[in-house]
Structures are given as C-alpha cells and as structure tokens.
Amino acid sequence: MTSYAMEVKNLRKEFQVKKKKTPFWKKDYNKEIFVAVDNVSFSVHKGEIFGFLGPNGAGKTTTIKMISTLLMPTSGSVIVNGINSHEKSIEVLRNLGTVLAGERSIYWKLSGRENLEYFAAMNGITGKIAKEKIDYLLKRFNLEKRADETVEKYSTGMKQRVALAKALIADPQIVILDEPTSGLDPQSARNLREIILEIKEEGRTVLLTTHYMEEADQLSDRIAIIDHGKIIALDTPENLKKGLSKTKSLVLQLDHWDETISNKLKDIPAVENINSSFNDSNQIWEVKIHISNGSQVISSLISNIASSNTKIINFRVDEPTLEDVFINLTGKSLRE
Ligand SMILES: Nc1ncnc2c1ncn2[C@@H]1O[C@H](COP(=O)(O)OP(=O)(O)OP(=O)(O)O)[C@@H](O)[C@H]1O
C-alpha cells in the first residue's frame, strides 16, 4: 500500500493558441503551442493539506483539471491511491471530491438540498442513508435554514459551501479545492478555512490551490510554488521561509511617493523589490521594500527616505513571508 494519496509525474499540458495579430479567417497554420503545465511532478502524503500556490495564470487550475480527469494531459501521469487516473478514471473519481473555481457544477435552479440529493443519487447513495448524509452536511455547513431555497438566491459563501458538501457526499479520501476562498468576504473565507482544517482532521487529504499566500501559509503542511507552469519550490512553509532568514520587508507609511525616490532606493544593492500603493481614504502612501540582507540596510534606507521629499508617518519591519520566497525565486511579486 502506497503512503502517497497522489503522485503527479511529469505532467504536461500544451494548448494550441492563435498567434497574436492573426486574422480570424486564417486558421490552422497560424496556431502555436502554449505550454500551460510544464513537466510538473510532486507527491502528496496521505492526510496532509498540500498547497499549490502561484499567481494568476501559473497553471494551477489546468493541473487540477488533469488530476481530476477533466482534462487529458499532453503527457505525464497521475496516480491516485496507487491507481493510474487515466487508465482507471472511474475508480479514481470514487476517491476524489473536487470543487473547481467559480463552481458551476451545482445547479442554481435547484435548492441546496435537491443538489445534494441529485449528487448522492449519482453516487448510488439513496434512501435513508442519503437523507441522513444530506441532513448532516446541510447542518455541518450551516445551510439548514435555507436548504429548500434555490441556490441562485444564496450568497457566494453559501454556494461554495454547497459545492463543498457536494464534493463530500460520497465520502472521498481526497478533496481537491481550486481557489476555494476566492471572491468570499473575510468572514466567509475564515469560515471556509476552518472547514478545510476540519476536513483534514477527519483524516482526508486536501489538495488546495490558492494565490493567497497567507492562506497557503496558514493551512498547508507543504506547499508547491508554481509559476509559468513549472514548480519552482516545494517544502513546508517554515522551511521555505527559513531559507530566507535574512530577508525582511520594511513597510512605511509616507505622505508622498514618486519614481525618483523609488529609483534612488532601487540603486541600493540589498533592495530587491518595491511595492507602493496610495490609500485614498487617508491620503497616505504605503510602501513595502523587500531587502535581502536583514537589518543592516534598514537604517540607511530610512535616512535615505527621510532626506527625500517625503515625510515618514510610520514604519515597521516584517519577517519573511511566502511572498518574499516568491519574489526571491522569480524577481517579481505574486500579484504583479
Ligand atoms: N483551453 C485553453 N486554451 C488555451 N490556453 C489556456 C486554456 N486553459 C488555460 N489556458 C492558459 O493556461 C495558463 C494557465 O491557466 P490556469 O487556469 O491553469 O492558471 P491558474 O494558475 O489556475 O490561474 P488563475 O488563478 O488565474 O485561474 C494561462 O495562461 C491560461 O490562459
């Protein structure tokens, strides 16, 4: 018996895309190959939450769809509980509960309860057992009171909880969640993160994609960071950050910020990256400066800024985050 819930080996997906500036009537010979997932390999241990972290367009959803047998890989394989997913997809699907981003596989014209009844029946679960399971899931996900209203009337958080209940109806050992908290308000997102931890406590394995680094950090036992279809790092969140013990971020609130100040600071060798944003409500600039050699450069940065045409309202020094890990590996921010 394998100790892995999932083994992904050299997974690759190529899409044929139209070349830029090609007239629509010129067809096939104007296509080129775009590699969305580029020989990705990783193994997920039974019972862990494995985070798949990367910016928009990195290849997370494409990978998830191949794992869930919704998309045929160009090459490579996925082994779920020792079974090859593209040779025995029905057997593999029995072990998987998947919630794709922007879940449309629940029926909006049916109620939450009817959705669960439908998907229970699809999985051969009927009668008293189905009723007990559905009542339990509706209660667990706090959907009981509005269980008989159509899903279209639900909030995004409620729809997401129905999708999750649907994914759990057949009691899968592995749950795959694609950007589960995307578009949720902070309270609903927190609520969903608690549910994800409970799913792990029940002994299930969770594969979770997200572009929220704090979420990946908080939930995951291990994290693979993906960019441009390639895994660029894979470890526990602690080890990923430990590798950057000298990296710090200087976060300042300033009354003014411009390119001249930014360029002057970028000339300092320890400065890796600068992100700035203007807060309209209090008319203050928040500037985050990522630095590579810890505390040594902080005092010279502050005196440099203080002597520029701006006033420092506040500042703090942050320890390395997964964002810093990503910047260190790619030279750009996760959100750029
Ligand atoms: N059917 C398709 N045809 C062509 N290109 C595609 C197709 N599906 C995805 N892509 C491209 O593949 C890349 C990876 O997309 P994917 O949806 O996997 O990214 P992602 O990491 O999940 O990002 P997001 O968080 O934005 O969903 C993107 O550049 C996307 O435009």
Q: Domain spanning 4-242: which CATH class is it, in words?
A: alpha beta
Integer Cα distance of 49 and 217 in angstroms = 11
Ligand 1 centroid–CA 84 distance in Å is 24
Mean pLDDT, residues 162-191 taken together: 92
239 lines ligand 1 (CB under 6 A): no
Question: What count of Cα atoms within 13 Å lies in the side-chain half-sphere of residue 34?
Answer: 14
Listed by start position, the domains of the chain span 4-242, 248-319
Most ligand 1 atoms within 8 A of CB, residue of 13, 14, 61, 225 to mutate: 61
Going by CATH, does the domain composed of 248-319 fall within 3.30.70.3100? yes
Question: What ligand 1 atom has the least distance to the C-alpha of 37?
Answer: 14
Read off the pLDDT of each residue in 165-180 and give the average, rounded to a whole number.
94
Q: How many residues does the chain have?
A: 336
What local confidence, expressed as pLDDT, does residue 27 receive? 58
Count other Cβ atoms within 10 Å, centred on residue 69. 19
Tell how far the Cα of 184 is from the centroid of ligand 1, in angstroms.
Answer: 21
Sheet of strand 4-18, all strands in order from the earlier edge strand to the far edge: 31-45, 4-18, 75-80, 83-84
pTM for the whole structure? 0.83
**Among 62, 213, 215, which is best to mutate for testing ligand 1, by the most ligand atoms less than 8 A from CB?**
62
Question: Binning pLDDT at 50, 70 and 90, where does residue 17 land?
Answer: confident
Query: Per-residue pLDDT for 233 more than 90?
Result: yes
Rg (CA), the chain: 23
59 phi-psi bin (left φ>0, alpha ψ -120 to 50, beta other): left
The ligand 1 atom at the shortest distance from the C-alpha of residue 64 is 18
**CB distance 210 to ligand 1 below 6 Å:** no
- Distant-in-sequence, close-in-space partners of 264: CB < 8 Å, separation ≥ 6: 304, 308
Instruction: State the DSSP code for 150.
Output: B
pLDDT of residue 28: 58
pLDDT band at 228 (very low <50, low <70, confident <90, very high): very high
Probe residue for ligand 1, chosen from 16, 17, 32, 34 as the CB with the greatest number of ligand atoms within 8 Å? 34
* Residue 24 reports pLDDT greater than 70: no
Contact 250, 288 (CB under 8 A): yes
Task: State percent of the chain over pLDDT 70.
Answer: 95
Q: Which atom of ligand 1 is nearest to the CA of 209?
A: 22
Report residue 117 CA to chain centroid gap. 29
Give the residue whose CA is nearest to atom 31 of ligand 1. Answer: 57
In this structure, are residues 147 and 131 in contact, taking their beta carbons and an 8 Å threshold?
no
> Among positive and negative, which fits the CA dihedral 79, 211, 204, 110?
negative
Report whether pLDDT(232) > 70: yes
Are the C-beta atoms of residues 221 and 50 closer than 8 Å to each other? yes
Residues 6+ apart with CB under 8 A from 145: none
The counts of H helices and E strands in the chain are 11, 14
Q: What is the mean pLDDT of residues 311-319?
A: 91
Residue 108 has pLDDT above 80, yes or no: yes
Model confidence at 23, in pLDDT bands (50, 70, 90)? low
